[in-house]
Amino acid sequence: MADSRCFLALDLGAESGRAELVTLSGGKVEMQEMHRWPNKPVFIGSTLHWDFPFLLGEITESLRACAQAGRQPLAVGVDTWGVDFGLLCGDVLLGNPVHYRDARTQGIHDYTNPTMTTAEIFALTAYEPWAISSLFQLLAMKKANSPLLEAADSFLNMPDLFSFFLSGVKRSERSIANTSNLMGVDGQWSDEIMRRFSLKRGMFSPLVEPGTVLGPLTPKVRELTGIGDMPVVSVCGHDTSAALAAVPAQGDGWAFISCGTWSILGSMTPQPVATPRCLELGFTNEYTLGGWYLARNISGLWLVQQLRKKWMLHDPACDYTRMTAEASEADGGESVPLFDAADPSLLAPADMEQAIQKLVGLGRLDSRGAMVRSVLESLALEYHRRLESLTELTGRRPDRVYMVGGGIHNKLLCQLTADACGMEVHAGADQCTALGNALTQALAIGVLQTPAEIREVMRNSTRMDVYAPRQQSLWQRKRLAYAQVCS
């Protein structure tokens, strides 16, 4: 018999996957990890692939773990990273899906621009035309005369592919389809792009909204796992969009920052913003439960993580708590050296400490605390800079920021973000992706009634720390100094 309020969220990231059993009771959620596994890409010849049979096997193992624990979820859903896909002929997968980091799309825009420019594609899709997006991966296959592309009659992005092997139903959910650069601003497949690039329209499955019930588990899956009957739900398949669905926000007029190794800043919008200025400012439009949102990737705690990695070689006790404490004790006045947190030299430096010293001027950061303080203030000011761009694009300045993800545990960063942005920061919820997945399942089967109820459940379940902006005359001078550094 099904647990009355229990949902299984299968949350796959680029480095690991996990199965979280989420229980909804009394308007709150609790989460229990049932299974976790690594996600290691493999080279087959010279091509980098995802190990799809292994990943599907671990999903099967997740269902088996529930059955063995005597837990029967009401539903199951899958979210993953974006852009990657599988091709099928009938029900047969044509090889392991290729990893977005594979070299096949290098220089692809030189091949595609004569047919259709990136600006034209953005105007139709409102999604930044990354070389790694599904469209350009398909066109790389076309350029190479791939026999798989010729043989394929179905295209499914990764979460839809897993859902197909669980349910036997082929559908494309809009949040993940959006990462393909093939879904138009009307929420439908772009016939114009497919026509211009001579892609087979019949390969693409019907589009569905997040929160659509696909159908029950196949008899084979139930036989392999011992799990009982339950529906497979097409949740927000793109993990970023799943997380946004669970931001514990209230009302309108808010922006969000999802902060971890990298950060994503954005806000919900009534319709996509597909202007040249949007593309110029590095923003893209994504789809989630309830509609569109505008977002931009930003540096995150990667900078601090790389500093710790170096410092631990000489001080194994160097942890994030200690680093943040040292930064809190460092001078926070106008003398804090600032640097462009988006500088390309910080993407993959051999030595992060030296890279930062070079940007601010050698010798200006004379302690670990001073360096971490410089990093966190520069990152907070980068958030402000991008928040101003968001305001320009939407025509509306947010009145508060909701901060989610692992970065919320860095209380100094949360406070500095409030100071730099000049508005309240509400920080809480570090597990939004799996919870957004599970609560969208609850919405799909009628346990919850509206997307707003998901946010209400999250507020009930999450401790929110509110950080008010301080010393705004000082921070206005810091904003001007940071703008000068970035100019």
Question: Where do we find the tokens 């390969």?
Answer: 203
DSSP run (H or E) holding 383: helix 368-394
Which residue(s) pair with 402 in the sheet? Answer: 256, 426
10 Å Cβ neighbour count for 51?
Answer: 18
Residue 325: how many CB atoms within 10 A of its CB?
A: 14
Active-site annotation holder among 239, 331, 430, 465: 239
Q: How far is CA 321 from CA 6, 85, 304, 395, in A?
A: 35, 39, 12, 39
Angle at 346 between CA 341 and CA 347, to 5 degrees: 110
**∠ at Cα 18 (23, 347), nearest 5°?**
125
The answer to whether the CB of 143 falls within 8 A of the CB of 109 is: no
Q: Cα 63 to chain center, whole Å?
A: 24
Per the listing, tokens 């302690």 go with 367
| Whole-angstrom distance, CA of residue 405 vs CA of residue 398 | 20
**Count of CB atoms within 10 A of residue 288's CB?**
26
DSSP string, 258-311: EESSEEEEEEEESS----HHHHHTT-EEEEETTEEEEEEEEE-THHHHHHHHHH
Both structure tokens of 13: 């990231």
259 to 302, 390, 427: CA distances (angstroms): 10, 17, 10
- Cα distances from 90 to residues 168, 170, 454, 468, in angstroms, run 11, 10, 37, 56
Sorted by sequence, the CB contacts under 8 Å of residue 252 that are 6+ apart come out as: 268
Read off the amino acid at residue 480. L
- Please tell me the distance from the alpha carbon of residue 274 to that of residue 356, in angstroms, as a whole number: 35
Q: How many residues does the chain have?
A: 487
Residue 239 is among the residues annotated as catalytic for this protein: yes
267 within 8 A of 386, measured Cβ to Cβ: no
Q: Which residues are catalytic?
A: 239
